């Protein structure tokens, strides 16, 4: 036989490998790039972004929330101590600077850090649920709504996701928040200031203190509106920046610029949060006063007066919450960026 034959088909030497290479190049690729949506599959919020929202993603958001909330709340403990005392005893503690001076003069300079341990532990637990579950619920509600409605009613989904997350976050926070407030607002010498003894005393006297969940309802009243405002207005302000000020695609801006936008958006949202949640925050502080033992929230509010609930300690709280919320979002997004997840909000 002349030439080469294989199963009756002529093969021209030197041409077979070329034909094979052409066929290989023309064969459609069956493997899709990572996180590329399958056109045949229904739309899923968890895979719609540039990073898939799998269990590892949610776990990283949870850790970011611990760092964001635990560290920042512990950092502003002196402001918190003063704010709580201004709410409980406005005649004595009339302002931030004078209040700090009064506490330091009567109890020593270390007294402005009272309650830092339950603050760190409580808000770390709260932050884990707040940020971690927000991402979970946001995807859950988006998938319930579908692709078109999730875009159309994005603001409602932000609100529903943050409210649902905070509901569970407050259950984790409540026992430690009750210990913190009791430490910070008790008359010097009438209650332990160290975390261990304070926790033991709160537990032993639970019939009087209502520990561990006696403050849960006012805490929900304070924290759920706060968190809804915190997430909704943060998302809105970030969206505003990337739509009207930084108009190039988000990915074209440096991480420093993106994180600066995150901080500015968080600070703006924090100011709104402080105003929205301040009356309920005042009630949480007032519940710790012995004179209010056994009284209903309505009775405490009536005796305190609307003006005091709305204004006492508000300036300090705006400063505290604005700074705290801006830092929280900055820490959270810095952690997400380090994990390769990108910053929050925007396009």
pLDDT digits (tens, 9 = 90+) for 223-261: 898 899 999 999 999 999 999 999 999 989 999 999 999
In a domain, 22, yes or no: no
In a domain, 6, yes or no: no
- State the CATH number of the domain containing residue 200: 1.50.40.10
Sort residue 72 into left (φ over 0), alpha (ψ -120 to 50) or beta. alpha
Give dist(CA 200, CA 243) in Å, integer: 52
In a domain, 305, yes or no: yes
In a domain, 30, yes or no: no
Domain residue limits at 233: 46-289+297-339
In a domain, 10, yes or no: no
In a domain, 41, yes or no: no
Whole-model pTM? 0.77
Residue 325 has pLDDT above 80, yes or no: yes
Tokens of 328: 């929280």
Q: How confident is the model at residue 12 (pLDDT cuts 50, 70, 90)?
A: very low
In a domain, 94, yes or no: yes
Beta-carbon contacts of residue 169 (< 8 Å; ≥ 6 apart) = 125, 126, 127, 128, 129, 130, 133, 223, 227
How many folded domains does the chain comprise? 1
In a domain, 4, yes or no: no
pLDDT tens, position by position, 183-233: 999 999 999 999 999 999 999 999 988 999 999 998 998 889 889 999 999
Q: How much of the chain, in percent, has pLDDT values that exceed 90?
A: 62
Please report which helix (H) or strand (E) contains residue 10, including its range: strand 9-11
């Amino acid at each position: 036989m002349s030439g080469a034959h294989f199963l009756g088909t002529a093969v021209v030497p030197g041409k077979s490998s070329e034909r094979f290479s052409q066929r290989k190049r023309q064969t459609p690729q069956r493997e899709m790039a990572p996180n590329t949506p399958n056109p045949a599959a229904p739309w899923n919020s968890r895979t719609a972004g540039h990073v898939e929202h799998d269990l590892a993603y949610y776990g990283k958001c949870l850790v970011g929330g611990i760092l964001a909330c635990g560290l920042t709340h512990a950092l502003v403990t002196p402001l918190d101590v003063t704010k709580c005392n201004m709410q409980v005893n406005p005649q004595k503690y009339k302002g931030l600077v004078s209040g700090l001076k009064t506490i330091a003069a009567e109890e020593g300079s270390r007294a402005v850090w009272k309650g830092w341990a339950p603050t760190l532990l409580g808000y770390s637990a709260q932050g884990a649920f707040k940020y971690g579950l927000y991402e979970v619920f946001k995807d859950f509600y988006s998938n319930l709504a579908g692709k078109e409605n999730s875009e159309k009613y994005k603001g409602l989904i932000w609100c529903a996701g943050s409210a649902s997350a905070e509901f569970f976050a407050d259950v984790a926070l409540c026992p430690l928040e009750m210990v913190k407030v009791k430490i910070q607002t008790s008359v010097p010498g009438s209650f332990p200031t160290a975390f261990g003894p304070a926790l033991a005393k709160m537990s032993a006297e639970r019939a009087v203190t209502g520990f561990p969940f006696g403050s849960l309802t006012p805490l929900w009243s304070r924290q759920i509106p706060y968190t809804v405002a915190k997430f909704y207005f943060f998302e809105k302000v970030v969206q505003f920046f990337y739509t009207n000020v930084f108009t190039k695609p988000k990915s074209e801006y440096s991480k420093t610029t993106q994180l600066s936008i995150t901080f500015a958006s968080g600070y703006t949202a924090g100011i709104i949060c402080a105003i929205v949640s301040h009356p309920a925050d005042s009630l949480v502080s007032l519940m710790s006063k012995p004179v209010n033992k056994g009284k209903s929230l309505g009775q405490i509010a009536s005796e305190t007066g609307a003006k005091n609930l709305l204004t006492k300690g508000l300036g300090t709280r705006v400063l505290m919450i604005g700074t705290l919320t801006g830092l929280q979002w900055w820490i959270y997004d810095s952690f997400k960026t380090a994990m390769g997840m990108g910053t929050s909000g925007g396009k």
